[in-house]
Chain A
Amino acid sequence: MTEGSVKFAAPLKIPGWVNYALIPFINLLAALLISGIVILIIGDSPIVALKVLIYGAFGYPEAVGYTLYYTTNFIFTGLAVAIAFHCGLFNIGAEGQAALGGIGVSLVCLYFDNLPLWLVIPFAMTAAAIFGAAWAYIPAYLQAKRGSHIVITTIMFNFIAASILTYLLVEVLIDPNGQSPESRHFIESTWLPYFHDFIAMPSTPLNISFVYALVLSAGFYFLVWHTRWGYEIRVVGQNETAARYAGISPSKNIILAMVISGALAGFVGINELQGVQHRLILDFTGGYGFVGIAVALMGRNHPIGIFLAALLFGALYQGGSELAFEMKSINKEMVIVIQGLIILFSGALEHMFRPKIEAAYRRFATTQTAEAG
């Protein structure tokens, strides 16, 4: 009886390491392979390029600092996209939510700069969260109560956010003594402490918001898998009918997940503005919100995966600029091509290799058990 039932158990489970490590790794490898071919076509050595890229990202302390600074932004936006994913929502609007978050941070740093740092930090963080969350709330409300598709609304809200930022910088917040559309510098007492203020390392933009991003990652894990709110969000994301059956309100959770998502995206403003630029500038969001989608996809919406994916994209940003600097045939656009290929393979073409790898694993595992048995 038991023997028979074992044979008729569920189809073989694909273990976590295949899902979370092997498949993303193969996707990455494929992207690098195609990038290598492109580099070969334009007449350079892919091997050299890869060496420069890796050295540029991790080769010396300064590089590491820069890489981790970029990583911080990707963690914020990656987590933002992931929490929405858990609720079955595709938040394309992290970019706009980050812009609004940045406005919130700047308002605090510009107008409440007489407060001591220990008060400015939580105050600015709260402002970033509230502004980002409010920006996400509107599309969330429209989706939950009116059925307007969140992908469309969040895309449109990115444009509106960019316009608001431009308007504010041109008309309202512009530094009266300056020519370009940017605010005055925040006074130094509101700046976030840098890493190089504490530990012996060369001066880099890496600041304490990196630590904050890691804390949030842990909080994300706890919220999603260890609280009843996270449970509700996941139920709604997996199966809305089951949610209604269980008395879990889909609309409430859609709004909740999006508000959290917007708040997380808003924290980009902390790292970028309060941490590094020390003023409100145009386009400080730099596409982090969009790359966050790829980070979340590649990281399987799990904080550890998101950290690794964010590190990869951080390394690509930093190593890529080094690459554009070092190799004359490779310019900034070429680096964007490589990033694009990675996004393509890990995001859009994610399921290209999966069935084959899973089938190969099944064959492998079956022969293993057969031999063992």
Chain B
Amino acid sequence: MSEQSPALELRRINKSFGPVHANKDISLSVDRGSIHGIIGENGAGKSTLMSIVYGFYQADSGDIFVNGQSCHIENPQSSIKAGIGMVHQHFMLVDTFTVLENIILGVEGGYRLSEGLAAARNELIRLEKEYALEVNVDAIVGDLPVGLRQRVEILKALYRGAEILILDEPTGVLTPQEADHLFRILDTLRKQGKTVILITHKLREIMAITDNVSVMRRGEMVAHVKTRETNQAALAERMVGRSVLLQVEKKPANPKDTLVSIRNLNYLDADDVPRLKDINLDLKAGEILGIAGVSGNGQSELLEVLGGMLTPTSGSIRFEGRELVGSKAFTARNLRKIGLGHVPEDRHRSGLILSFSANECTILGYHDKPEYNRGLRLDRKSMVETCQSYIQKYDVRPPDPYLKASGFSGGNQQKLVLAREMEQNPDVLLVGQPTRGVDIGAIEFIHKQLIMMRDAGKAILVVSVEIDEVMSIADRIAVMFDGGIVGEIAASEATETRLGLMMAGVRETRPGAKEAV
């Protein structure tokens, strides 16, 4: 093992799934003791590549070298043996176990659990000290906040002797402050000589923490650069293959009448747990209200209540002056009829029916409108024509109204949902995670569409866990924490720090507010 050899080297890796060539001749060299970013749009092949390195898939051809030695990685076990650890986007932890139990899972050592636990405890405490990764080893994982769970995952990999740590989209579930903390941890790891590979689609993170960055596009490695020699715009251009606008161009908002006013809205779930607490919000025509917050703080419930999927426990929602709560109109079906569009947070779970064709998804929620029906019959022809017109207008690919929804990529699926909801020309549009899992190119398009609707005098509510997105698209930002609204600020006054604090539940004490009390 020579000191000059890179920690991880890939040579001409190829991987196909049927006709899809997910990795084409990928070569990559990661220096020891560095943080190496891999960036690319969804479907660019980043995850496939890392799954090959971690042994989930086998490459069709190509070689992997760890510390200069050829390494045959058949499965995750052989990858762990080679000193590679992975922190998945979705944590692989048993919620009801303690941190310690989770970490020794699979490497208990010996027949008697207590011996393994005792040995592991000492080793863990040593690791925690060395890398500044404080976690109470006896805490139940289910009780820990997300940021700490992620630390448990990192500890798990280190405990297994990982020298190379792969992190897959690690900041998706973190507040900006938590993300910064993660970066400090990664920095410590780097100083201790570990190698970190960071997979992400967030350019900001690449610029903030990595030493080198590799860009993937359509299954190919299109660039290897030193981070300090590049910038966000250049990377984005490499990712997409053309220049993109990172910041949405928009005129200042011109808010008019309040279309929806929400007062003291409360929602208790089936277990009587309060999910929404005294929500007060106004949606105004010609304005985009952004809801920021770490996911799971009531945003989903707010959208589902406003979309008529859940019935609030108490409170009032007035739509164009009419009280909805308790009225006949307050069902998902009737809300659509009176002019409320809803792009759900999770297009797979609710926005589309994956086994249906695109044209069948086009009428979801609008299937009893007269234009899709001819007497008893569904008007298949008009469904297909409508779908075709959406496909054309929103540039959905492949342009096939008969293709099953599952056959489209994430961005194109999102376009199908957006087209359906926007083309009904609603007065109020609820949008959950408008660009989750969507390519940069499509993000630009989706943001433009939303701004266009705003300028046409619609009231728009955007819920997003991407703080950058909320800041760039919204005119007014409300932050949710633990089911309540922590505060509301104009987008022009929002900074990441301010929002981050609010996302952590810290209420702003404005001088003005004090006086009012």
What residues on B are CB-neighbors of A231 within 8 Å? 360, 363, 367, 378
What residues on A are CB-neighbors of B350 within 8 Å? 239, 241-242, 244-245
What residues on B are CB-neighbors of A222 within 8 Å? 377
A245→B18 contact, CB < 8 A:
no
Chain A CB within 8 A of B308 CB: yes
Give residues of chain A (1-58) contacting chain B, Cβ–Cβ below 8 Å.
4-13
What residues on A are CB-neighbors of B308 within 8 Å? 247
* A101→B217 CA distance, assembly (Å): 62
Main secondary structure on A side of the interface with B: helix
A248→B18 contact, CB < 8 A:
no
B378→A226 contact, CB < 8 A:
yes
CB distance from A333 to the nearest CB of B (A): 40
Chain A CB within 8 A of B365 CB: yes
What residues on B are CB-neighbors of A226 within 8 Å? 377-378, 380
A8→B20 contact, CB < 8 A:
yes
Q: Who on chain A is nearest to B342 by CB?
A: A245
* A244→B331 CA distance, assembly (Å): 9
Of the listed stretches B133-141, B153-161, B332-340, B504-512, chain A binds: B332-340
Chain A CB within 8 A of B397 CB: yes
B332 in complex: contacting residue of A13, A234, A247, A369, CB < 8 Å: A247
B403 in complex: contacting residue of A8, A10, A234, A242, CB < 8 Å: A10
> Given A244-B309, A246-B364, is A7 in contact with B20 using a C-beta cutoff of 8 Å?
yes
CB distance from A279 to the nearest CB of B (A): 38
B378 in complex: contacting residue of A6, A8, A10, A227, CB < 8 Å: A227
> Given A231-B367, A246-B365, A247-B308, is A13 in contact with B407 using a C-beta cutoff of 8 Å?
yes
A11→B353 contact, CB < 8 A:
no
Give residues of chain A (237-265) contacting chain B, Cβ–Cβ below 8 Å.
238-239, 241-242, 244-248
A5 in complex: contacting residue of B334, B353, B398, CB < 8 Å: B398
What residues on B are CB-neighbors of A79 within 8 Å? none
* A245→B342 CA distance, assembly (Å): 9
What residues on B are CB-neighbors of A362 within 8 Å? 18
A11→B17 contact, CB < 8 A:
yes
Chain B CB within 8 A of A235 CB: yes
What residues on B are CB-neighbors of A235 within 8 Å? 353, 356, 364
CB distance from A251 to the nearest CB of B (A): 13
1/0 contact string of B258-286 vs chain A (CB within 8 Å): 00000000000000000000000000000
B367 in complex: contacting residue of A7, A232, A238, CB < 8 Å: A232
* A8→B16 CA distance, assembly (Å): 10
Give residues of chain B (398-429) contacting chain A, Cβ–Cβ below 8 Å.
398, 403-404, 406-409
A239→B349 contact, CB < 8 A:
yes
User: Which range holds the interface residue count of chain B?
Assistant: 35 or more
Q: Who on chain A is nearest to B347 by CB?
A: A242
* A8→B24 CA distance, assembly (Å): 12
Q: Who on chain A is nearest to B365 by CB?
A: A246
Chain A CB within 8 A of B170 CB: no
Chain B CB within 8 A of A228 CB: yes
Chain A CB within 8 A of B231 CB: no
> Given A228-B373, A235-B353, A242-B351, is A369 in contact with B19 using a C-beta cutoff of 8 Å?
yes
> Given A231-B367, A247-B308, A247-B332, is A238 in contact with B20 using a C-beta cutoff of 8 Å?
no
Name which of B218, B367, B373, B406 has the most chain A CB atoms within 10 A of its CB: B367
> Count of A residues near B, CB < 8 Å?
31
* A227→B379 CA distance, assembly (Å): 8
* A232→B360 CA distance, assembly (Å): 11
Chain A CB within 8 A of B43 CB: yes
Q: Who on chain A is nearest to B397 by CB?
A: A5
Q: Who on chain A is nearest to B21 by CB?
A: A7
1/0 contact string of A287-322 vs chain B (CB within 8 Å): 000000000000000000000000000000000000
Q: Who on chain B is nearest to A12 by CB?
A: B18
Give residues of chain B (292-317) contacting chain A, Cβ–Cβ below 8 Å.
307-309
* A217→B19 CA distance, assembly (Å): 38
B18 in complex: contacting residue of A239, A244, A366, CB < 8 Å: A366
What residues on A are CB-neighbors of B352 within 8 Å? 242
What residues on B are CB-neighbors of A246 within 8 Å? 332-333, 364-365, 367
What residues on B are CB-neighbors of A239 within 8 Å? 349-350, 353-354
Q: Who on chain A is nearest to B403 by CB?
A: A10
B408 in complex: contacting residue of A10, A11, A245, A369, CB < 8 Å: A10
> Given A7-B21, A9-B398, is A238 in contact with B331 using a C-beta cutoff of 8 Å?
no
Q: Who on chain A is nearest to B406 by CB?
A: A10
Chain A CB within 8 A of B33 CB: no
What residues on B are CB-neighbors of A369 within 8 Å? 19
A11→B18 contact, CB < 8 A:
yes
CB distance from A26 to the nearest CB of B (A): 21
B43→A8 contact, CB < 8 A:
yes
> Given A245-B365, A247-B336, is A9 in contact with B351 using a C-beta cutoff of 8 Å?
no
1/0 contact string of B236-271 vs chain A (CB within 8 Å): 000000000000000000000000000000000000
Chain A CB within 8 A of B355 CB: yes
Give residues of chain A (178-235) contacting chain B, Cβ–Cβ below 8 Å.
222, 226-228, 230-232, 234-235
Known interface pairs A8-B409, A11-B18, A245-B351; 13 further A-B residue pairs with C-beta atoms within 8 A, sorted by A's residue number: A5-B398, A8-B43, A8-B218, A8-B219, A12-B19, A222-B377, A234-B353, A239-B353, A244-B350, A245-B342, A246-B365, A247-B365, A366-B19
Nearest 5 A/B pairs, CB to CB: A247-B333, A247-B332, A10-B407, A246-B365, A245-B350
A-B contact pairs, 25 of them (CB 8 A): A7-B19, A7-B20, A7-B21, A8-B219, A9-B19, A9-B407, A10-B408, A11-B18, A226-B378, A228-B372, A230-B378, A231-B363, A232-B367, A234-B353, A238-B354, A239-B350, A239-B354, A241-B349, A242-B364, A245-B309, A245-B351, A245-B365, A246-B367, A248-B333, A366-B18
Chain A positions within 8 Å of B, measured between CB atoms, are: 4-13, 222, 226-228, 230-232, 234-235, 238-239, 241-242, 244-248, 362, 366, 369
